[in-house]
Structure 1
Amino acid sequence: MSFTLATWNINSVRLRAPLVCRLLSEEAPDILCLQECKSPVDKIPVQDFTALGYTHMIARGQKGYNGVAILSKLPIEDIGDQDFAQLGHARHVAGRLENGTVIHNFYVPAGGDVPDREVNVKFGQKLDYLAEMRDWFHGDKPQKSILVGDLNIAPREDDVWSHKQLLKVVSHTPVEVNALGDVMDAGGWADVTRADIPDGQLYSWWSYRARDWDAADKGRRLDHVWASPDIAAAAHSSRILRPARGWEKPSDHAPVFATFDL
């Protein structure tokens, strides 16, 4: 069984439903994992996606914030969600394909603007969320599993436009990078994207604040595709669809793709 999976922080699935449909029509991944849907599940325009062949959806949502969804051409079973750090947020959902592959879709808290939990509650919540992810995967080792999503951390020096200038900026601080590394180590996860594209600057997010995001190219790789060690070698053909960042009324994130032969 071979399938292509994509992950995309869509920044409002209702507002950007036409972009989702464009991606599904032009790129046709078998599975699309969305984050920051900003919609109750019953308000997601699922009929638009069903019409394109994505007849399966599992999702968690809330009004105006957060939200995760998995759209699939392939049958997929809802196997639950986790509320790490007890935030009451829709930030995780998991599904299982018929061949037994588990897909985890995550939207890790962004963490606010100040990388100090003593003065910024949101940063503390982010670190607590990552710590509970680590503990969960340490206790329940993933097998035949894929983890995707907006993890809101750019871990490598070449995952940001300037390592030196972003060392004290939330998403690239050493404490966050170390926390994400602990999550990876706990589950034995492999970074599929960087296994396929090991060298060079690589981004999946560009701020709306830039007058010309493409020319400035001050990006960060916040969106990830990981695989458990037993299936990591089955992944290939990773890519980031940078042009999607330039579509009309875009998300500030670009979709990340990988193919698995399982």
Structure 2
Amino acid sequence: MPFTLATWNINSVRLREGLVLKLLREEAPDVLCLQECKSPVEKIPLEGFRELGYQHIVARGQKGYNGVAILSKLPLEDAGSEDYAQLGHARHVAARLENGVTIHNFYVPAGGDVPDREANEKFGQKLDYLTQMRDAFHAERPGKSILVGDLNIAPREDDVWSHKQLLKVVSHTPVEVEHLGETQDAGGWVDVTRQDIPEGQLYSWWSYRAADWDAADKGRRLDHIWATPDISNAAHGSRVLRAARGWERPSDHAPVFATFDL
């Protein structure tokens, strides 16, 4: 049975509950993975989501920061979470659907503003987080799995508005791109979005700092949907809901979608 999955850094699920409800009503993905929920699990506003048919949730949360949640119309079970780099942050949660597919929802550390681990502890934490993800996938290569989330790296030259101007900007530096590539290779992950949309500029994040984000269009593709090779060919219909970036009091990220015939 086909199902559609979306991933979205919501930048506070309580502040933007109305935007989540709008997405669920208008787009109706079967599964919605949220990052940066900024809420303890018990304070996530579930009632409205449940009224729209999203009866199943697996989440990890903390007060004011980070937080990941998987909302689903389809039954799923909690498949655990990992604290890569031992940061004590709610940055990963996994859930398993009845068809045996495991969904991993990640919020990789942003890494601060200075791309130097000696001068910026947060950048080192980001690299360490990716290294431990890589090592985990090396140790136990995943199968029948989907990995989604705000990975906070735009890996390709056409994943950013200007490759040359962003080479020294956190999220597109060569060392970050290398770390993400090693993580992807370790799990054999297929970039589903680029499998479906192989050419051209593609973004999922636009800074709040731009006076007119749409006209400036200085975006980056920080949000990703990957799948293991055994199910990647079942993926299709990838898209970024750019319009959501223009909703009232929006997140600076737009939702990314893919459909799987599984």
- TM over 0.5, yes or no? yes
1:213 matched residue in structure 2: 213
1:84 matched residue in structure 2: 84
2: CA distance, partners of 1:48 / 1:134:
37
1: CA distance, partners of 2:261 / 2:214:
33
1: CA distance, partners of 2:140 / 2:41:
28
2: CA distance, partners of 1:113 / 1:207:
14
1:229 matched residue in structure 2: 229
1:183 matched residue in structure 2: 183
Q: 1:225 Cα shift?
A: 0.1
Q: Taking structure 1 as the reference length, what is the TM-score of the superposition?
A: 1.00
2: CA distance, partners of 1:13 / 1:137:
30
TM-superposition CA deviations, 1:171-216 (whole Å, max 9, x none): 0000000000000000000000000000000000000000000000
Q: 1:260 Cα shift?
A: 0.2
Alignment of 1:106 onto 2:106: yes
2:35 matched residue in structure 1: 35
2: CA distance, partners of 1:213 / 1:97:
37
One-letter code aligned to 1:60: R
TM-superposition CA deviations, 1:210-232 (whole Å, max 9, x none): 00000000000000000001111
2: CA distance, partners of 1:49 / 1:125:
34
One-letter code aligned to 2:141: K
2: CA distance, partners of 1:79 / 1:192:
22
- Equivalent positions of 1:111-122 (< 5 A) are 111-122=111-122
Give the SS at the match of 1:230.
helix
Moved over 3 A (4+): none
2: CA distance, partners of 1:95 / 1:61:
15
2: CA distance, partners of 1:260 / 1:168:
36
Q: 1:48 Cα shift?
A: 1.0
2:173 matched residue in structure 1: 173
1:134 matched residue in structure 2: 134
1: CA distance, partners of 2:196 / 2:115:
31
The percentage of aligned residue pairs carrying the same residue is: 81
One-letter code aligned to 1:24: L
One-letter code aligned to 2:248: E
Give the SS at the match of 2:168.
coil
Give the SS at the match of 2:233.
helix
1:3 matched residue in structure 2: 3
2:20 matched residue in structure 1: 20
2:197 matched residue in structure 1: 197
2: CA distance, partners of 1:142 / 1:47:
34
TM-superposition CA deviations, 1:42-80 (whole Å, max 9, x none): 000011100100000000000000000000000010010
Q: 1:164 Cα shift?
A: 0.1
2: CA distance, partners of 1:148 / 1:205:
15
Equivalent residue pairs, number: 262
TM-superposition CA deviations, 1:156-178 (whole Å, max 9, x none): 00000000000000000000000
2: CA distance, partners of 1:240 / 1:107:
18
One-letter code aligned to 2:140: D
TM-superposition CA deviations, 1:112-158 (whole Å, max 9, x none): 00000000000000000000000001111110000000000000000
2: CA distance, partners of 1:48 / 1:112:
34
Give the SS at the match of 2:230.
coil
1: CA distance, partners of 2:77 / 2:27:
24
Give the SS at the match of 1:137.
helix
1:51 matched residue in structure 2: 51
Give the SS at the match of 2:71.
strand
2: CA distance, partners of 1:234 / 1:142:
17
1: CA distance, partners of 2:84 / 2:164:
31
One-letter code aligned to 1:126: K
